[in-house]
Amino acid sequence: MELNSKAVKISGRRVPYRLGNNATFRLAEIQYGPFERILFLPAPVDPEVVSANYANGFLQIRLAKLPAEQTRRIPISQG
């Protein structure tokens, strides 16, 4: 997995497997081989605060949004 403040890139390789006699599934985007997905994020995230967990066929990625930029008023003096 690769991450920057705007997107997450997930890549891997799916190995072929044999289904049992009564096994079914609804959708398999790819049967086997390499894959790659890039997910563009709706808000900037902090690449230093991230965790990823893969269990029971599900990948969970937790990200933290960057705090909103705060503006600061600076007085302008004359002369």
Range(s) of the domain holding residue 50? 2-65
Domain with residue 15: its CATH number is 2.60.40.790
Tens of pLDDT, residue by residue over 21-71, are: 887 777 767 678 898 999 999 988 888 889 999 998 889 999 998 887 777
Q: What's the whole-model pTM score?
A: 0.65
What is the distance of C-alpha 42 from the center of its chain? 12
What's the token pair of residue 9? 């890139």
CB-CB contact of 2 with 8 (8 Å)? yes
**For the chain, how many structural domains are there in total?**
1
Taking phi first (over 0 means left), then psi (-120 to 50 degrees means alpha), and beta for anything else, what does residue 36 get? Answer: beta
44 in any annotated domain = yes
71 in any annotated domain = no
52 in any annotated domain = yes
38 in any annotated domain = yes
The β-bridge partners of 59 are 54
Q: Which helix (H) or strand (E) holds 50?
A: strand 45-55
49 in any annotated domain = yes
The β-bridge partners of 7 are 40
